[in-house]
Chains A and B, each alone.
Chain A
Amino acid sequence: MIRSLLETSAALLAGAPGFFPARASSVAGEVDRVFGFIFWISLFFLVLIVALTILFVVRYRRRPGREEPELTASHDTRLELLWTGIPLVLVAVMFVWSTRTWLEMTRAAGSDEKPLRVQVTGRRWSWWFDHPGGKGSEELHVVAQRPVELVLSATDVIHSLYVPEFRLKQDAVPGRFTRMTFTPTLAGTYPILCAEYCGTDHSRMLASVVVHPDQRSFDAWAREGLAPDGSLVALGKQVFAKKGCLGCHSLDGSRRVGPSVKGLWGREEKLVDGALVRVDDEYLRESLLKPGAKVVAGFGNLMPPVALDERELQALAAYLQSLGEAP
């Protein structure tokens, strides 16, 4: 036992092996470089402080022959400005570098390639991933080098999706959608952990993300074992019909009491007060709960609130999206 402890301590001191998890997303390398920059600056100041402390104690310890301190100035404005200015410059560099990296980490996936959009649901104590094409799974499946956009929500309490190998984490909050974008780079399987405390089995709310080497391998997985009608889109279609949405919102673009839902997703709509709004999950959620909040110009405020659970809401979003997106 003692030997294993010593070995572990030695490995910890040696640092390097296993210090960071593998770098499996496009931003992981840059995050680690920011980490390294802050680390070396911190280490420099730590060593400076400890070395000065030890040096002063050794040299200026009170002892026979050194009963009294030497007379020195008790303030020095230039010195104060120096040790205010240098840290200020260093933290400014940290701030700029880190913020630029973070903007890269949170940027919506580039328009050059359509991102793989996955709906994520956190619940006690497992994750559920609805992939495009209707395949739902407790594992997240993505493709190497293809941008991914996760839309997260939670059905009960706050959870947080954390993939150490991607250097990414995002809370899933009940009652709203949050977003996480990334591009996996390294095919393989990595752990997904829940990072926001959520009760009894918080530490066992584990899943994994499978990064397929190419699209073909992903597609093969996505088709496998899929019931023809079991998809999120199919559920959304049912919800749309069951809640009577068709009464006011046409599927073919024709005008009824409310706007048609054809080609609605992602469209910029002009509201009665002249503001513009993009139709996305958040707008959908708001319009179902508080239909009067953002009424499209040219239509009356007639719609009653519609109560949906999280899954129905996601399904509806997927269904509306399947009807074609605005360019």
Chain B
Amino acid sequence: MSTAVAAAAAAPAPAVAESYLSHGRGPRSWLLSLDHKRIGVMYLLAIGASLLLGGVFALVLRLNLWRPEGGLVSNDAFNKLFTLHGAVMIFLFVIPGIPAALGNFVLPLQLGAKDLAFPRVNLISFWLYVVGAILFLATLVVGGIDTGWTIYPPYSLESARGLGILFALTALFVVGFSSILTGLNFIATIHRMRPPGMGWFDLPLFLWALYATGLIQVISTPVLGITAAMGFLERIFHLGLFMPEYGGDPVLFQHFFWFYSHPAVYIMILPAMGVVSEVVSVFSRKPIFGYRFIAMSSIAIAVIGFLVWGHHMFVSGQSAAASIVFSGLTFFVAIPSAIKVFNWLATMYRGAIVLATPMVYVLTFFAIFAVGGLTGLFLGALATDVPLHDTYFVVAHFHFVMVGAVMTAFLAGLHYWWPKITGRMYDERLGLWSSALVFVGFHVTFVPQFLAGVAGMPRRYATYAPALVGHNRVSTVGAFVLAAGLCLALFGLLRSLRSGRPAPPNPWGAASLEWAAPSPPPWDNFERTPHAPPGPYDYSGLRHVSDEAGWVRGEVSR
């Protein structure tokens, strides 16, 4: 009986169209594809390459810090390396990472739609990203830039900086538009293309997170574009906007920059939280706890996130009143994050927890995000921010949030949707080992940096006091363990393309609509617009048939 069911479920329905991977061949069918899935895969490759590049920069930086006097590379080379490390990681990996790669692939599928609302805009957005990435790398050809990714004037706009800064500002402008268009597309799609029967509170929480992210992208990224354009004009025409020597105000630039760049942190973390909400429910086999609170806390983070940028400027000379208001608002943003964490934990309570790779990554996310979030309290508080500002404490804090939490969630999501994207199951054992290595390597790298910061080591230092050699060496060793963990994850995923067993439509027993499509999905996703499932986290009708056939919705109860 059970074999008969398995055979019936495994046999493909005769009318299913060919998979998106084989529909259309040749480079043009990929590079100019309007299919959200192919664009998602191209994004995945592009951000993977960016992560690799940014990671190599990071390892060179860590090696240079092995000795207090540096010396592996010159100070100037060190400064250029950390600038590119930051710019590549933030603008080319972390910001587009989850939304543009995983979001592009998953969003229309979760809505039971055939594509995003504006497929051509989606393709434009991808190519803008590529052009921006090339412009960033072009700065290397003209000698590199050494301004830090924050490009604060007057340093960044001095004429001695050469052409590189103009390339970088143009790259920011272009990449910014890529991000705006993606956000716009996501918002429009979630508004207009929900299937019959799916109200706002029936959306998977990943979509709530992408919606909140889209709002931030659309509202804040134009400010980055405008700031980059103003910097460009200031550099060429000496308008007197940011440069004191022409009558401008460098602190004004900091306001503009952080008006985008602080919300940008939430562009990074919100989609990560969305992935966590999906994975923690599916692998606890329980509906998510406090759905509405999680959904609304995404929106709350997006809104409050706009009002806290001044906490980057407590020692810049901004007015005392401004500093106090920004400090108070910063503490508020801690609350929705706390709500999410407790709801995730409550979801696991009395569940039937499956320790598959995505879930293990999410479990490590809890610890890492807790540290990342809690250490933010020290930096939102005025008294403790003054000594900690611009030290390694800040470096460790934002790496816990942006590398630890976001990358862990990205890896969780990548493993979770990998069977859907590629039609192959990855090797569970390699996946678990990689998550353990990433977890250990990450902590060995960044915990000592907290301590170095408390001891008074400023960031962006090519050389440092000999007393801190221990902190730095432990951190360098950790960076290589982390790199090994990431390489292992990559190896496991790539190997599955060759030797992984074919994935069933629903290997995890998830209830959202992307798992109703075959793995990999046909080029037009669904033959008929599917009806919304009973709930995005209602697992009651799902039965596990076999590893080959996965989970199916059936009326037969056991």
Task: Tell which of B146, B371, B390, B462 has the most Cβ of chain A within 10 Å.
Answer: B390
Residues of A within 8 A of B470 (CB): 4-5, 7-9, 11-12
CB of A69 within 8 A of CB of B324, answer no
A311 to chain B, nearest CB (A): 15
CB of A38 within 8 A of CB of B390, answer no
Binds A, one of B36-44, B49-57, B147-155: B147-155
Evaluate whether A203 and B464 lie within 8 angstroms (CB atoms) in the complex, with A69-B350, A173-B251 already known: yes
A60 adjacent to chain B (CB < 8 Å)? yes
Residues of A within 8 A of B152 (CB): 158, 196-197
User: What is the interface of chain A mostly: helix, strand, loop, or mixed?
Assistant: helix
Q: Can you list, as one digit per residue, whether each of A50-62 has a CB less than 8 Å from chain B (1) or not (0)?
A: 1011001100111
B537 to chain A, nearest CB (A): 8
Binds A, one of B91-99, B182-190, B333-341: B333-341
B151 to chain A, nearest CB (A): 10
A90 to chain B, nearest CB (A): 9
Residues of B within 8 A of A164 (CB): 387, 455-456
A35 adjacent to chain B (CB < 8 Å)? yes
Residues of B within 8 A of A203 (CB): 75, 458, 460-464
CB of A69 within 8 A of CB of B473, answer no
B249 adjacent to chain A (CB < 8 Å)? yes
Residues of A within 8 A of B456 (CB): 21, 162, 164-165, 191, 193
A221 to chain B, nearest CB (A): 25
CB of B474 within 8 A of CB of A102, answer no
CB of B293 within 8 A of CB of A200, answer no
Evaluate whether A69 and B155 lie within 8 angstroms (CB atoms) in the complex, with A4-B470, A173-B316, A204-B463 already known: no
A234 adjacent to chain B (CB < 8 Å)? no
Size bracket of the B interface: 35 or more
For A96, give the chain B residue with the smallest CB separation.
B328
CB of A84 within 8 A of CB of B339, answer yes
Task: Tell which of B342, B366, B371 has the most Cβ of chain A within 10 Å.
Answer: B342
CB of B345 within 8 A of CB of A49, answer yes
Q: Can you list, as one digit per residue, whether each of B176-212 has a CB less than 8 Å from chain A (1) or not (0)?
A: 0000000000000000000000000000000000000
Residues of A within 8 A of B332 (CB): 91
Binds A, one of B1-9, B377-385, B510-518: B377-385
The CA-CA distance from A95 to B79 in the complex, in Å, is 35
Evaluate whether A98 and B381 lie within 8 angstroms (CB atoms) in the complex, with A91-B331, A158-B155, A164-B387 already known: yes
A242 adjacent to chain B (CB < 8 Å)? no
For A43, give the chain B residue with the smallest CB separation.
B374
What is the total number of residues of chain A having a CB less than 8 Å from a CB of chain B? 88
B431 adjacent to chain A (CB < 8 Å)? no
Our pick among A35, A195, A200 for the contact of B75 (Cβ within 8 Å) is: A200
Our pick among A21, A31, A91, A156 for the contact of B384 (Cβ within 8 Å) is: A31
The CA-CA distance from A253 to B293 in the complex, in Å, is 69
**CB under 8 Å from chain B, chain A span 90-105:** 91-92, 94-95, 97-99, 101-103, 105
A144 adjacent to chain B (CB < 8 Å)? no
For A201, give the chain B residue with the smallest CB separation.
B75
A106 adjacent to chain B (CB < 8 Å)? yes
For B68, give the chain A residue with the smallest CB separation.
A203
Residues of B within 8 A of A167 (CB): 386-387
The CA-CA distance from A4 to B374 in the complex, in Å, is 31
CB of A49 within 8 A of CB of B352, answer no
B327 adjacent to chain A (CB < 8 Å)? yes
CB of B464 within 8 A of CB of A88, answer no
B353 adjacent to chain A (CB < 8 Å)? yes
CB of A12 within 8 A of CB of B374, answer no
CB of B317 within 8 A of CB of A171, answer yes
Evaluate whether A30 and B386 lie within 8 angstroms (CB atoms) in the complex, with A56-B345, A88-B335 already known: no
Evaluate whether A94 and B463 lie within 8 angstroms (CB atoms) in the complex, with A19-B451, A69-B352, A72-B349 already known: no
B167 adjacent to chain A (CB < 8 Å)? no
**CB under 8 Å from chain B, chain A span 185-201:** 191, 193-201
Q: Can you list, as one digit per residue, whether each of B444-483 has a CB less than 8 Å from chain A (1) or not (0)?
A: 0001100100111011111111010011011001000000
A259 adjacent to chain B (CB < 8 Å)? no
Task: Tell which of B317, B331, B375 has the most Cβ of chain A within 10 Å.
Answer: B317
Evaluate whether A157 and B249 lie within 8 angstroms (CB atoms) in the complex, with A60-B348, A74-B289, A101-B383 already known: no
3 tightest A-B CB contacts, nearest first: A175-B244, A164-B456, A8-B470
User: Could you write out 7 A-B pairs with CB less than 8 Å apart?
Assistant: A12-B451, A34-B381, A42-B377, A67-B352, A79-B290, A157-B154, A164-B456
Q: Known contacts A42-B378, A60-B352; can you find 19 more A-B pairs with CB under 8 A?
A: A5-B473, A12-B448, A50-B367, A56-B353, A60-B351, A70-B351, A76-B289, A79-B290, A84-B339, A87-B335, A95-B328, A157-B155, A157-B158, A193-B458, A195-B389, A195-B458, A195-B459, A197-B459, A199-B79
User: What residues make up the interface of B, taking CB atoms closer than 8 Å to A?
Assistant: 75-76, 79, 146, 148, 152, 154-155, 158, 244-245, 247-251, 284-293, 315-317, 320, 323-324, 327-328, 331-332, 334-335, 338-339, 341-343, 345-346, 348-355, 363, 366-367, 370-371, 374-375, 377-378, 381-384, 386-387, 389-391, 447-448, 451, 454-456, 458-465, 467, 470-471, 473-474, 477, 537
